[in-house]
Structure 1
Amino acid sequence: MNTSMISASVTMGQLQRKLDTISHNITNSNTTGFKRREATFSDLLSQQVYNQHDLSKEGGRLTPFGLRVGSGARIAQTALRLDQGSLIPTDRELDFAIAEKNHFFQVQSSENGEQQNRLTRDGAFYLSEDPDNAGLLTIVNSNGDFLLDANGNRINLPLNFQAINVSNTGGLSVTLDDGTAQNIADLSLIRVIKPQLLESIGDNYYRIPDVATLGFAEQDVFEAVAAGEALLSQGSLEGSNVDLGREMSELIATQRHYQFNTRAVSMADEMSGLVNGLRR
């Protein structure tokens, strides 16, 4: 196949992946706590072609003797960008926004009958009856997964309370019917040191992979946020960090690059047709 056709067709496939990433960002521009991804490219293998080895026959030549021929480009990385999203006031007691970009809530979900811990920036929570503790309430998200405390346990609240209060350091307390305050728990927040290792598993969730198999120690990848360090805002939610203007500009530029490569394929096909049509 024509070299230019190979280069263009390979690049088109990778540009489609970038278009998919941009589309995913735009689709989730209104998703609470969503973090955008950014695709970056790198060159594939290239070769140096020397079309004339006898320099004596090329006197007066102005163009270079060698030609560097590439094989197109590929997606080098689809990087997760944890830039802080804007805080949106909701005045709702169970809406919590994290104001630190590398921090995540830890929730417990069930997968194939096993309890798994997940990370999320979505701070919209609700009250539900604790299935394991009759007469007590617990805090869940929209998927029914349990919000965990600093000890990795579900958070239990009594039935006889009037208000829920969360400090900016993550301490959760309730005001009882008699007006007294009762400390309940400290919210579990995880600081991710190497966010590019996080695995996106859908539903605005992330998972920490088996770091040992990647050659890392746990303390080099994530750590629990110490008491008093969290930066939470009750009555607010963190919006997506997607900039629609930027994403639309990237979308238009990527489409133009795609069109350029489709034109290169068409031109290579036309040139092949001309060559095949030559007659002595």
Structure 2
Amino acid sequence: MIRTMTTAVNTMNQLQHRLDLIGNNLSNVATHGYKATDAKFQELLYQQMNNDKADQAPRRSEDGIRIGVGARIGSLQMNWKVGAVQVTGRPLDFALTAPKQYFNVIRPTDGGEEIIYSRKGNFYVSPTANGQNMLVNDEGLPVADSAGRPIVLAGDATNYHVQPNGVLEVTHPGGTQRIELGITVLEKPDSMVQLSATNFGLPEDMAALGIAANDLLTEMTGVGRSEIGLQNQALETSNVHYEKEMTDLIATQRAYQFNARSVTLADQMLGLINGIR
């Protein structure tokens, strides 16, 4: 009975983590550029109990029974597939249509600034002190150009258009300003650190991990910019599949209820044993 309760409680703790994960995916169904995450389970330590050697009955199943101590989350896998493109008609909405390509965004740190990466392309203009505008994302963080500098636009801009190669054309009465948007390919996205729902950054201690930034990132510069995929006046939607998440939610809830029922039954049986006089 104690083994049954231990097995069920171990599994319930891990199922709770999966419920939280599914809830997070569902809450970000409408978040542009969000990538869904799924949990993979694996069995904990188990004990193999073989049948008696005298048992020669033909069988299709393995000899004996296997008694485990529950399951645990073996890995968290993020779905890096490109989400559907939603046309918005807004001039400063840009959708990346190629996989693993991310906009470069500048985030302040204690010691200065760092570049982080996001596929959320709804940008805005923020006025600066000298009468110009800075291109920022919905969090107010500056969007970086291909050189890693904040993008500063003319204050009297009348139109914005981005070329497929990531060149932003800003039209104003004095002419046309052309700026290369900073876009990076995450070669090994699973090695990146998720900073928020849509932002990713480099691991803090890469030297200890034996990796370099060049192993994880490829800056889209020069002739490589021809591989950039961008669409004007559109945003990439979340790649969360609502139907799949709801199915996984129901299955996980039933598994949790089954294990909770196992704990209840084991407790009742222990009560019956203790009540024997």
Whether the 8 Å CA contact 2:34–2:197 is kept in 1: the answer is no
Whether the 8 Å CA contact 1:186–1:227 is kept in 2: the answer is no
Whether the 8 Å CA contact 2:115–2:148 is kept in 1: the answer is no
Indicate whether 1:181 and 2:172 are aligned.
no
What is the deviation of 1:16? 0.4
Residue number in structure 2 paired with 1:153? 149
Distance 1:230 1:60, change over 3 A: closer
Alpha-carbon distance in structure 2 between the residues aligned to 1:50 and 1:227: 62
Alpha-carbon distance in structure 1 between the residues aligned to 2:81 and 2:196: 19
Alpha-carbon distance in structure 1 between the residues aligned to 2:55 and 2:160: 86
User: What does 1:11-50 correspond to in 2, within 5 Å?
Assistant: 11-49=11-49
Residue number in structure 2 paired with 1:221? 216
TM-score (norm 2): 0.90
| Residues 87-115 of structure 1: per-residue CA shift (max 9 Å, x gap) | 11111111111001211111012234632
Indicate whether 1:247 and 2:245 are aligned.
yes
User: What does 1:1-280 correspond to in 2, within 5 Å?
Assistant: 2-49=2-49, 66-112=64-110, 114-130=112-128, 134-178=130-174, 180-183=175-178, 185-202=179-196, 204-210=198-204, 211-225=206-220, 226-279=224-277
109-118 vs 12-21, which moves further: 109-118
Alpha-carbon distance in structure 2 between the residues aligned to 1:59 and 1:117: 66
| Residues 224-272 of structure 1: per-residue CA shift (max 9 Å, x gap) | 1232221011100111111111110010011111111111111211221
Residue aligned with 1:147, SS: coil
| Residues 16-69 of structure 1: per-residue CA shift (max 9 Å, x gap) | 0000000000001001111110111011111234697xx6xx778999885422
What is the deviation of 1:190? 1.2
Residue aligned with 1:105, SS: strand
Distance 1:66 1:269, change over 3 A: same
Alpha-carbon distance in structure 2 between the residues aligned to 1:203 and 1:140: 17
Alpha-carbon distance in structure 1 between the residues aligned to 2:166 and 2:8: 52
Alpha-carbon distance in structure 2 between the residues aligned to 1:60 and 1:101: 56
Letter in 1 for 2:182: S
Alpha-carbon distance in structure 1 between the residues aligned to 2:209 and 2:121: 30
What is the deviation of 1:70? 1.0
Alpha-carbon distance in structure 2 between the residues aligned to 1:10 and 1:49: 21
Distance 1:12 1:34, change over 3 A: same
Letter in 1 for 2:186: V
TM-score (norm 1): 0.89
Q: Percent identity?
A: 36
Letter in 2 for 1:36: A
Number of residue pairs matched? 271
Distance 1:255 1:203, change over 3 A: closer
Q: Which runs of 5+ in 2 are unaligned?
A: none
Whether the 8 Å CA contact 2:41–2:73 is kept in 1: the answer is yes
Whether the 8 Å CA contact 2:143–2:150 is kept in 1: the answer is yes
Alpha-carbon distance in structure 2 between the residues aligned to 1:4 and 1:207: 42
